[in-house]
């Protein structure tokens, strides 16, 4: 009999999907595995923690829908094996959640960093991410699967100074990797995104910060956070991963989903706490993809006004965090709404064709429902620790420099083909 904690939700968002989760035996990975199973997915847990991995499978008690395979992500043969075994058992791979990672030694001076620590952290965090993406893309492309690749990065990709240097560098490397391969894989309809959580009192985080007790870590993280009265946990991150893995985000690619309660938008000193707590709430602004990429076809007034709203949202979020009010933006790519087609002076059919051909994520067309899905995520408790985010729903359009790519193709590829 399945665990009572795995009751089916009203709507299963991953019905018929197959997912592979590295680092899935504990922490964020385990929480995500449970959530994916609840939402109808079949899941492979890949980890070096054999006892924990097998125990999790027994807890879920559903061997037909979940399995554990030992995997060291720094070893390519291990990654290839777990991907191939997943396809062999479940028939395909829709979702790769590259979550395995190490933090290295606790915080130290750059003067004390040793090369062995750097190599170990980069082998697992960066090389492992490369290998997961490589072999996931291999089977997704060969099976014509419009899949989703998700990396666990860190709030250390947007705010710095209190994690080990090797860890911060490795997570920034993975963020850059995600954006670059997202451009490449968009033509196959494969989404590539990151999820970057703030501190959670997992063993990995506590060890990296040199904290011995979970309770002490939670107290520090709660007092140091910008969003008061809320503590981030593994389930919150799993909710974000679910959004990125599901069709609710079918036009989201190239995003770094920062789950930090607005911490990265302010430099308020760690330890400052407010004595009063007020009713919580959510404020959402509709901005635009023009806040991250410019276009000669977009009026200057539109670009500047939407950028102003984005700046306002971040500043207001810092002020309102103490009242447990989250403030976020949603920035969609072009949609053939009456507002949009009238603005460009073209009919809906031509607009749809133009937007699809210009998009980076092929085989998908953004519509109003996709934006509504993003708004729902930001409005719900699934995102209770998300504030200061610009949720860009553009299929990765803002990640490549199209002009640079076209010039390269013209100058080099055309010459090669002659």
- 385 catalytic? Reply is no
Do 235 and 28 meet the contact criterion of CB atoms below 8 Å apart? no
Q: Helix, strand, coil: what percent of the chain each, to 5?
A: 50, 15, 35
Q: Which of 98, 154, 249, 336 is catalytic?
A: 154
Residue with tokens 């240097």: 165
CA distances from 349 to 95, 187, 198, 364, 389 (A): 32, 21, 43, 15, 32
Residue with tokens 């996709």: 370
Rounded Cα distance, 319 and 387, in Å: 12
- 167 catalytic? Reply is yes
- Which of these, 114, 224, 105, lies nearest to 164 by C-alpha position? 105
For 71-105, give one letter per residue: b (16+ CB within 10 A) or e: bbbbeeebbbbbbebbbeebebbbbbbbbbbbbbb
For 261, list phi and psi in degrees, rounded to 5: 60, 25
Do 45 and 95 meet the contact criterion of CB atoms below 8 Å apart? no
Q: Which of 17, 105, 171, 191 is catalytic?
A: 171
Do 283 and 326 meet the contact criterion of CB atoms below 8 Å apart? yes
Angle of the 234-245 helix axis to the 27-38 helix axis, nearest 10: 50
Long-range contacts formed by 207-212: CB under 8 A, 24+ apart = 207/103, 207/106, 208/103, 208/104, 208/106, 208/107, 208/163, 208/164, 208/167, 209/106, 209/107, 209/162, 209/163, 210/106, 210/107
Do 229 and 277 meet the contact criterion of CB atoms below 8 Å apart? yes
Q: Which of 17, 148, 166, 167 is catalytic?
A: 167
End-to-end CA gap in the chain:
65
Active site (catalytic) residues = 154, 167, 171
């Amino acid at each position: 009999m399945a665990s009572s904690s795995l009751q089916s939700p009203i709507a299963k968002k991953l019905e018929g999907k197959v997912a592979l989760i590295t680092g899935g035996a504990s922490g964020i990975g385990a929480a995500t595995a449970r959530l994916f199973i609840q939402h109808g997915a079949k899941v492979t847990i890949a980890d070096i923690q054999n006892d924990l991995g097998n125990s999790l499978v027994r807890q879920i008690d559903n061997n037909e829908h979940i399995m554990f395979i030992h995997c060291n992500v720094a070893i390519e043969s291990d990654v290839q094996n777990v991907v191939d075994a997943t396809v062999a058992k479940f028939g395909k791979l829709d979702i790769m959640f590259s979550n395995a990672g190490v933090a290295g030694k606790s915080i130290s001076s750059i003067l004390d960093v040793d090369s062995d620590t750097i190599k170990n952290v980069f082998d697992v965090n960066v090389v492992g991410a490369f290998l997961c993406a490589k072999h996931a893309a291999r089977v997704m492309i060969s099976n014509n699967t419009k899949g989703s690749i998700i990396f666990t990065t860190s709030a250390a990709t947007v705010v710095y100074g209190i994690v080990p240097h090797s860890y911060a560098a490795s997570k920034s490397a993975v963020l850059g990797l995600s954006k670059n391969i997202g451009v490449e894989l968009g033509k196959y309809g494969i989404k590539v995104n990151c999820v970057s959580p703030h501190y959670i009192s997992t063993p990995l985080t506590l060890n990296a910060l040199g904290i011995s007790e979970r309770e002490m870590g939670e107290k520090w993280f709660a007092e140091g956070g910008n969003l008061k009265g809320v503590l981030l946990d593994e389930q919150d991150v799993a909710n974000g991963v679910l959004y990125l893995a599901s069709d609710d985000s079918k036009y989201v690619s190239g995003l770094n989903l920062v789950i930090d309660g607005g911490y990265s938008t302010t430099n308020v000193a760690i330890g400052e706490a407010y004595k009063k707590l007020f009713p919580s709430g959510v404020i959402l602004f509709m901005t635009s993809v023009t806040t991250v990429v410019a276009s000669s076809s977009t009026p200057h007034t539109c670009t500047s006004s939407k950028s102003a709203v984005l700046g306002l949202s971040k500043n207001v979020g810092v002020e309102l965090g103490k009242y447990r009010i989250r403030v976020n933006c949603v920035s969609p790519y072009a949609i053939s709404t009456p507002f949009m087609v009238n603005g460009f002076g073209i009919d809906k059919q031509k607009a749809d064709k133009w937007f699809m051909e210009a998009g980076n994520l092929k085989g998908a067309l953004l519509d109003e429902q996709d934006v509504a899905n993003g708004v729902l995520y930001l409005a719900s408790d699934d995102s209770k620790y998300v504030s200061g985010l610009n949720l860009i729903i553009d299929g990765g359009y803002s990640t490549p420099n199209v002009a640079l790519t076209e010039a390269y193709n013209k100058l080099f590829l055309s010459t090669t083909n002659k």
